[in-house]
Amino acid sequence: MAKKDKAVCTLTTSVLPESIRAAFAGTNSFTPISNSYKWVYADVTVGNSTSDLLSVSINYLGTSVSLNASDKILWISIKHTGTIDGSNKTSNGIIISLDNNNSLAYNTGDAIFIDSKEMFVSKLPFTTIGDLTTKSVGVTSGIPSSTTPGNVQINVAAIIQDVS
């Protein structure tokens, strides 16, 4: 992968009450340095039982080589589409575990929560494909509230280190 194939996310966050408003701005980028670093893009359906976020049946872009459970996630962007299938809307969210938690619940303490139409971008260089699990959750007032909702569609783009 060429350096020109880097991943870049630009963020701006407004914080604090209006009277003392502040803004944080920055980037989250990753520049590939090895041919073992490869792009993956997938539309993923997250259901109400815990499963791997990225299936090992997904191929690297432009290849017939599929992901391996031990491949490392160097940079990842996850976009909640706000739908169950690309067209039918949902207000459910998803939670993500970085430590192969196979029994996620809406109140799992170390889970990352992504609400409808939100996006999460991060570098996870020591997290493997097999470590990254997910599950859909019901949401009340912006907080996960149940683990029995239906499907949620997400878009995932990532630079993965192919360790095979």
User: Helices marked H in the chain — which ranges?
Assistant: none
Q: Give the chain's domains with CATH numbers.
A: 34-161 (2.60.120)
Q: What is the pTM of this model?
A: 0.92
Q: What backbone torsions phi and psi does residue 163 show, to the nearest 5 degrees?
A: -90, 0
Of residues 99 and 2, more confidence is placed in 99
Q: Which tokens is 84 given?
A: 């169950």
pLDDT at 138 over 70: yes
Measure the CA–CA gap between 103 and 34, rounded to whole angstroms. 35
Residue 1's pLDDT is what?
56
